[in-house]
Amino acid sequence: MSNVIEARGLSKRYGKTLAVNNIDLSIPAGRIVGLIGPNGAGKTSALKAILGLANFDGDLKVLGRDPSKERAALMEDVCFIADVAVLPRWAYVHELLDVTERIHPRFSREKCMRYLSTTKITPKHRVKQLSKGMVVQLHLAIVMAIDAKLLVLDEPTLGLDIIYRKQFYTNLLNDYFDEHRSILITTHQVEEVEHILSDLIFIQDGRIALDCSMEEVHERYTEVMVKPDQADAARALKPLSERHMMGRHIFLFDGVQRETLAQLGELHTPNVADLFVAVMGAGDEYAALRAQQAMAAGGAA
């Protein structure tokens, strides 16, 4: 199966700042990939290169095309949902659908209206009449109704309430995703997407810190909750991280046999947020991630 994204030595510099530092990526068709990292890690710069919105160094092919030279042709097969939905406030909804139908041959008005039927948005609304969350809903409905081979989502549900966020991801799986499409998601609300991901990429300081499938995550990483009297034995096995909760020590291990760890305490598969902390190596990024999650949740409420 050919890769929808193939990057070798991809770098992006802003003056003296190296935002993306010589990274390699291979994303095949039919995968849902989470690109996770703190602010300033290089996520946005990498996305801009992939979408042909920024020059770059190294080799990059998206759907077999060079995005810096063939962006117009590439955008026929790529859709992008940004973290801020910007639509003309003066336009009616039906006018936006008319324009999209004229300029994009793979747009399905019927599918778009089906998505909108789950909202309070009607074709007769003007954009300026819609709340911020409703504008996001409209933007998502339009983009999801385009039959693209690669869908890039940058904080796609920012500003939406929890009910519509869950509905969006359900629609994404049931009505959009199949073995011929790939989806690249960046988000700080990792708990909401980890159950749909097939692959996980952590990026920090412009470099790839982790790139593996979720199957590999479940095979490699184990979280163990141990009593204090077993803590030294757990530390002797060189865990990636240690934290404390309700009088217990929680250790995260990479590649240690589960049979060995079972003698120490209760075993769990780590969630993406806790794995992020362990692999990235510290709490500053984790605190920032959690703070951003809390802010996003508060803004959507």
Structure confidence at residue 178 (pLDDT): 79
> How do beta strands 265-268 and 221-226 pair?
antiparallel
Q: Please give the structure tokens belonging to residue 205.
A: 């300081």
d(CA 97, CA 113): 9
Q: Which of 62, 156, 176 is nearest to 115 (CA)?
A: 176
Residues 6+ apart with CB under 8 A from 141: 112, 115, 116, 119, 121
Provide the number of structural domains found in the chain: 2
Final residue in a domain of this structure, among 128, 147, 166: 147
Q: Which of 257, 54, 53, 71 is nearest to 62 (CA)?
A: 71
**Across all residues in the chain, what is the average pLDDT?**
87
Angle at 40 between CA 61 and CA 38, to 5 degrees: 95
Report pLDDT digits (tens) over 212-263. Answer: 999 999 999 999 999 888 999 999 999 999 988 877 899 999 999 999 999 9
Band (pLDDT 50/70/90 cuts) for residue 85 is low
In a domain? residue 282: yes
Residue 284, domain CATH: 3.30.70
In a domain? residue 79: no
In a domain? residue 16: no
Structure confidence at residue 37 (pLDDT): 87
R_g of the chain, CA atoms, integer Å: 21
In a domain? residue 29: no
Structure confidence at residue 245 (pLDDT): 81
d(CA 239, CA 109): 52
User: Can you name the residues that pair with 20 across neighbouring β-strands?
Assistant: 12
Final residue in a domain of this structure, among 147, 172, 192: 147
Band (pLDDT 50/70/90 cuts) for residue 56 is very high
Residue with tokens 């803004």: 299
Band (pLDDT 50/70/90 cuts) for residue 84 is low
pLDDT at 289 over 60: no
Band (pLDDT 50/70/90 cuts) for residue 300 is very low
Residues 6+ apart with CB under 8 A from 212: 199, 200, 220
pLDDT at 278 over 80: yes
115: domain range?
90-147
Residues 6+ apart with CB under 8 A from 256: 222, 237
pTM of the predicted protein model: 0.83
Final residue in a domain of this structure, among 147, 176, 192: 147
Band (pLDDT 50/70/90 cuts) for residue 22 is very high
pLDDT at 287 over 50: no
What's the average model confidence in pLDDT over 60-79? 92
More confident residue, 48 or 189: 48
In a domain? residue 277: yes
What's the average model confidence in pLDDT over 92-121? 93
Whether the Cβ atoms of residue 35 and residue 185 lie closer than 8 Å to each other: yes
d(CA 139, CA 96): 10
In a domain? residue 275: yes
Measured over the CA atoms of residue 9, residue 13, residue 18 and residue 20, the dihedral's sign is negative
In a domain? residue 53: no
Whether the Cβ atoms of residue 91 and residue 124 lie closer than 8 Å to each other: no
Helix (H) or strand (E) holding 17: strand 17-28
Whether the Cβ atoms of residue 273 and residue 291 lie closer than 8 Å to each other: no
In a domain? residue 115: yes
Report pLDDT digits (tens) over 138-189. Answer: 988 998 899 889 999 888 887 778 888 888 888 888 877 877 889 999 887 7
